[in-house]
Structure 1
Amino acid sequence: MTTLSIFDFSQPDEAKKVTDDSSEIRALLAEQSVRFEQWPTKDLPDDASQDEILEAYREEVESLKAECGFQTADVVSLNPDHPHKEAFRQKFLDEHTHSEDEVRFFVRGQGLFYLHFGDQVFSVLCEKNDLISVPDGTRHWFDMGPEPRFTCIRLFTNPEGWVADFTGDDIASRLPRYEAMVGGA
């Protein structure tokens, strides 16, 4: 279930959690200029190709491209048996920003986006059918967990794809990781 946990640095061990109401999650994220939507389910096999996935969500992707000026879309997928899963996890675990919005639509599986706003961090457990758009310049990181299982459509305005500017802040190491937030792998 999609979950939003809000950590306040004045009480870092206590997070406010919102799990039952996607409209409340959407509203709280919108206050921070984060777009959150849930798209209708498409029936796809677990081993669907990038082309099959992009075709299944063609209308939604084209609509976002037209609305937001995205130039490209691709699909990223990771499974627990991937030989480089730990390296991929580490790549995204440090706080960073981008010069464009980071947009992910979860076709299957789940992952945690951590969004740093002033004295708060919003941790969003995104699952199948969740779309999140993190505004450019927003300090954030992503945790796919030690046994990742997800497939996401990514949209970019920069044809080079994912380009990060790491902040050097160790905040990501001071908050609970995927295992603590989700409960295991």
Structure 2
Amino acid sequence: MTTLSIFDQNQPQSPRSVTEDPAEIRRLLAEQGIRFEQWQTRDLPADATEAQILEAYAEEVAALKAECGFQTADVVSLNPDNPQKEAFRQKFLDEHTHSEDEVRFFVRGQGLFYLHLGDSVYAVMCQQSDLISVPDGTRHWFDMGPEPEFTCIRLFSNPEGWVASFTGEDIASRLPRYERLAGVA
């Protein structure tokens, strides 16, 4: 279930609030300038290709491109049997920013976005059908868990794709990881 847990950066072990109400999640994130939507999912085969996935969501992707000026869209997918899963997980676990919005639509599976906003950290457990758009310059990180299983559509303004600027802060290491927040620990 999609969940938003809000932490105080100075007391990061326990959230000060948690909600699973999609309307409340949308409202709380919107107050912080974060776009959160839930799209109608499509029935796709488990082995759907990137082309099939992008075709299934062509209308929504085209609307976002037109509205926000995105140039490209692709699909990223990771499964628990991937031998590089730990390296992929580590790549995104440190706080970073981007010079463009980071947009993800979860076609299947789940992942945890942490958004460092002022003195708070908003941990958003995104699930199938969730779209999140993290504005450029927003300090954040992503945890896919030790057994990642997700497929996401990504949209980019920069044709080079995912380019991060790491902050060097250690806050990501002080917050509960995916295992605890997903209840799999």
User: 2:13, 2:174 within 8 Å by CA — same for their partners in 1?
Assistant: no
Match of 1:167 in 2: 167
Q: 1:184 & 1:2 partners in 2: Cα distance?
A: 15
Query: What code does the residue aligned with 2:156 have?
Result: F
Deviation at 1:71, TM superposition (A): 0.1
Match of 1:125 in 2: 125
Deviation at 1:118, TM superposition (A): 1.2
Query: What code does the residue aligned with 2:134 have?
Result: V
In the alignment, structure 1 residue 41 sits paired with structure 2 residue 37: no
Match of 2:18 in 1: 17
Deviation at 1:12, TM superposition (A): 2.6
- Percent identity, aligned pairs only, is 77
Match of 1:54 in 2: 54
Query: What code does the residue aligned with 1:66 have?
Result: A
Q: Give the 5 Å matches for 1:1-185.
A: 1-15=1-15, 16-19=17-20, 21-184=21-184
Q: 1:14 & 1:92 partners in 2: Cα distance?
A: 22
- Give the alignment's Cα RMSD to 1 decimal: 0.9
Structure 1: unaligned runs, 5 residues or longer: none
Deviation at 1:176, TM superposition (A): 0.3
Dislocated runs of 4+, deviation >2 Å: 9-14
SS in 1 for 2:145: coil
Deviation at 1:14, TM superposition (A): 2.7
Deviations 1:148-185 (A, max 9, x none): 00000000000000000000001000000000110227
Structure 2: unaligned runs, 5 residues or longer: none
Q: 2:43 & 2:183 partners in 1: Cα distance?
A: 27
Q: 1:137 & 1:35 partners in 2: Cα distance?
A: 14
Deviation at 1:11, TM superposition (A): 3.5
Q: 2:144 & 2:41 partners in 1: Cα distance?
A: 21
Deviations 1:15-66 (A, max 9, x none): 11001x1111000000110000000020001110000000000000000000
Q: 1:14 & 1:49 partners in 2: Cα distance?
A: 40
